[in-house]
């Protein structure tokens, strides 16, 4: 679980160009990390690649914070 | 050979403007995939690409078939790699006076000339965003800017491409992807051969350069927009019409 969180945080930091220390579990991509809507689309693309899964559009739109990304990945990897 | 190693997709490439564009991009070193609505059309594309010494192939694509646009992008990515240059060229006419126009004539134009532009552009977006490089070039028409009696459907769809081009250019510009349109005037192709001689003569009178355009005139403009020389041009329409309409 912690492993997934670390991996998600690393990708978020890379994609959004922010220091990893700024990426908290409760961080909102748009409100806290300065992402625009296109950044969030790219972030989901990066998550899909890292975790080798496909995140459907309707699910992707609900992922707006680090916590939500971690939750989604955890739930769908354990399947 | 500035486009060496890049994959280009040209829809409606079996003849006319599309064929000239496919050959132009091939001459710049791109791997070119051209589409046609029939298997024989696709084979003809493969043949002329081979003859030109280009890499690439013709594929059958009926843009109005459900899922066809997404499917062909996935197939190209698998066999050749992500599409770096998309030229939305496929188009038809269903001319009629508005008072006589049938729903199927209107719908056919929107389904063939407009919707696939959205579908194909969406499908290539991921690859272009990741590469931080991409070219989307939409082939519009001078009548989208000037209007033309008997072409309310066609000119509406072509004018829609201008708005699409500008909006997508704003959306994706930060990722190194440019989106432009080329608006041909009257070009000597099968599509304009259908016009009566008398009407053609009148049209030529209105063209400053005094002749119909050639497919190569359009292909050269597309070749420029696809190249790195046009890296700072986006959201624009390049009018290639011999001066029959000046923006």
Interval B102-116: pLDDT, tens: 999 999 999 999 999
Q: What is the pLDDT of residue B196?
A: 86
Intra-chain end-to-end CA distance of chain B, in Å:
32
- Residues of chain A with C-beta less than 8 angstroms from the C-beta of B129: 38, 41-42, 45
Q: Is the ipTM of this complex over 0.90?
A: no
Residue whose entry in the numeric block shows the structure tokens 């081979």:
B50
Checking A32-36 for CB contacts under 8 A at 24+ apart, the result is: none
Checking A16-23 for CB contacts under 8 A at 24+ apart, the result is: A16/A43, A23/A66
Span B134-154, average pLDDT: 97
Cα–chain center distance at B6: 18
One DSSP character per residue, B126-156 reads: HHHHHHT-EEEEEE--THHHH--TTBHHHHH
Q: Does residue B189 carry a pLDDT above 90?
A: no
Span B155-173, average pLDDT: 98
By CB atoms closer than 10 A (0-12, 13-18, 19+), residue A63 is buried
- Measured between alpha carbons, how far is A35 from A37 in angstroms, rounded to an integer? 7
Mean pLDDT of chain B: 96
Whether B171 sits inside 8 A of A38 (CB atoms) is: yes
Q: What is the pLDDT of residue B1?
A: 63
A-facing residues of B in 154-173 (CB < 8 A) are: 171-172
Please say whether the beta carbons of B81 and B33 come within 8 A: no
Span A35-55, average pLDDT: 93
- Residues pairing with B179 in the sheet: B136
Q: Does residue B191 carry a pLDDT above 80?
A: no
Span B30-54, average pLDDT: 97
- Residues of chain B with C-beta less than 8 angstroms from the C-beta of A41: 129
Strand locations in B153-205 (E): 177-184
Q: Does residue B30 carry a pLDDT above 70?
A: yes
Mean pLDDT of chain A: 92
pLDDT tens digits, one per residue of B206-234: 999 999 999 999 999 999 999 999 999 99
Intra-chain end-to-end CA distance of chain A, in Å:
14
Q: Does residue A78 carry a pLDDT above 80?
A: no
pLDDT tens digits, one per residue of A50-67: 999 999 999 999 999 999
Is B126's Cβ below 8 Å from some Cβ in A?
yes
- Residues pairing with B137 in the sheet: B87, B180
């Amino acid at each position: 679980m912690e492993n997934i969180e670390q991996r998600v945080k690393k990708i978020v930091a890379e994609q959004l160009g922010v220091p990893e220390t700024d990426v908290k579990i409760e961080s909102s991509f748009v409100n806290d990390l300065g992402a625009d809507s296109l950044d969030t689309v790219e972030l989901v693309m990066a998550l899909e690649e890292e975790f080798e899964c496909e995140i459907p559009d309707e699910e992707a739109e609900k992922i707006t914070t680090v916590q939500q990304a971690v939750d989604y990945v955890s739930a769908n990897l354990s399947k | 050979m500035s486009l060496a190693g890049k994959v280009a997709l040209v829809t409606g490439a079996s003849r006319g403007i599309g064929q000239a564009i496919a050959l132009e991009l091939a001459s710049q070193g791109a791997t070119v995939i051209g589409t046609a609505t029939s298997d024989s059309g696709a084979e003809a594309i493969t043949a002329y690409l081979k003859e030109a010494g280009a890499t690439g192939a013709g594929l059958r694509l009926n843009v109005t078939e459900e899922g066809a646009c997404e499917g062909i992008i996935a197939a190209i990515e698998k066999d050749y790699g992500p599409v770096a240059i998309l030229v939305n060229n496929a188009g038809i006419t269903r001319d009629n006076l508005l008072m006589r126009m049938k729903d199927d004539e209107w719908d056919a134009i929107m389904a063939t000339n407009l919707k696939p532009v959205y579908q194909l552009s969406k499908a290539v977006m991921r690859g272009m965003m990741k590469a931080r490089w991409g070219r989307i070039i939409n082939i519009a028409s001078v009548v989208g800017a000037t209007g033309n009696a008997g072409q309310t459907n066609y000119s509406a769809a072509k004018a829609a491409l201008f708005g699409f081009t500008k909006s997508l250019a704003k959306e994706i510009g930060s990722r190194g992807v440019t989106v432009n349109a080329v608006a041909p005037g009257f070009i000597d192709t099968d599509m304009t051969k259908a016009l009566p001689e008398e009407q053609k003569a009148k049209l030529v009178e209105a063209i400053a350069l005094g002749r119909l355009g050639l497919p190569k005139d359009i292909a050269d403009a597309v070749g420029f927009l696809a190249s790195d020389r046009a890296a700072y041009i986006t959201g624009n329409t390049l009018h290639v019409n011999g001066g029959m309409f000046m923006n």
